[in-house]
Amino acid sequence: MEKVGFIGVGIMGGAIAARMLQNGVPVLAYDSNPEALAKFAALGGEIASCIRDVVDQTEIVFACLPTANICRHVALGPDGVAGGSQVKIYIETSTLGGAVAMEFAAALEKFGIAYLDCPVVGGAVAAAAGTLGVLAAGPRAAFERAEFALAAFAGRLFFLGETAGMGQTGKVVNNAVAYAAFLATCEAVSVGMKAGLDMETCVAIINQGSGANFFTQRVFPNYMLKGKFDGTGAMEIGVKDVKYFHEEAKRLDVPIPMARAVLELQQRVLETGPPERDTMTMLHYFTDLAGLPRQG
């Protein structure tokens, strides 16, 4: 099967690229973090020395990166994707907002590179299980050319049309709901624990009832109930994702009182400690308010 390139094999990107390997797609990867590269090499992935090494050897290149500024440097920087000699299709699985996706599509087109705006939904647990939703937008021909690689890690592929940015719209719609559910879950579980229920029982009750959500079904059981509060991504990334939803709503002139409340609370929690700490540690904010011992 054709080899693809991958830039950014951290928590999420590493899970996606690993899934590709498991399904027979050879992957040439680069990451600025040597530890991430070592983990990927141990899985059988091929390691590149730099970004240019990736884009000079593969025609289809994926990226999974944490911020829009890093994405811009990788895509359009002096040693980035735009100057690659082989790359024909650049697939951005990062969450970076619709405006940035449109900027990249227009800029890369001048270099003869098709841009697929292709964020994913489901988190690292879904990536490892092969159940990620992939929200693709961009030239249909590029999508069809790269579909073998997308299908190697996706549980479901959504093609949202040829307009760059539509994938980002789908992603931020999902994330606005996800973080509202997570904050509500943390608050509710803290109240239940204060009353004398244990966290596992609280989560089981919610999952049995109408409050079940991604975090109670996947994150709490696989991480938090096992005492693990690291591995889902930095808290600042989750805050960034909800900010992108605000930007999209502003562009469309749609009031969003719920998302405004979610972002205000996220930012309040973010101010209580290092922004790079895991999103799951938001639970500590609520247990602290309740006067409970910290979990994990």
Q: What is the pLDDT along the chain (296 residues), one digit of tens a residue?
A: 899 999 999 999 999 999 999 999 999 999 999 999 999 999 999 999 999 999 999 999 999 999 999 999 999 999 999 999 999 999 999 999 999 999 999 999 999 999 999 999 998 888 888 899 999 999 999 999 999 999 999 999 999 999 999 999 999 999 999 999 999 999 999 999 999 999 999 999 999 999 999 999 999 999 999 999 998 889 999 999 999 999 999 999 999 999 999 999 999 999 999 999 999 999 999 999 999 999 87
Distance between CA atoms of 155 and 164, rounded to whole angstroms? 22
Distance between CA atoms of 212 and 73, rounded to whole angstroms? 39
Nearest to 139 by CA among 153, 156, 111, 118: 118
Q: Please tell me if the domain spanning 4-164 has the same topology as the one spanning 168-289.
A: no
Distance between CA atoms of 57 and 202, rounded to whole angstroms? 51
Q: What count of other Cβ atoms lies within 10 Å of the Cβ of residue 257?
A: 7
At 60, which helix (H) or strand (E)?
Answer: strand 60-63
CB within 8 Å of 85: residues ≥ 6 apart: 55, 56
Is 168-289 CATH 1.10.1040.10?
A: yes
Domain ranges of the chain: 4-164, 168-289
- Do residues 25 and 16 make contact, with C-beta atoms less than 8 angstroms apart? no
Instruction: Tell me the backbone φ, ψ of residue 240, rounded to 5 degrees.
Output: -60, -45
Question: Parallel, antiparallel, or unpaired for β 89-92 and 154-159?
Answer: unpaired
Distance between CA atoms of 279 and 266, rounded to whole angstroms? 10
- Do residues 27 and 3 make contact, with C-beta atoms less than 8 angstroms apart? yes
DSSP 216: I
pLDDT digits (tens, 9 = 90+) for 221-231: 999 999 999 98
> Tell me, which fold does domain 4-164 have in CATH?
Rossmann fold (3.40.50)
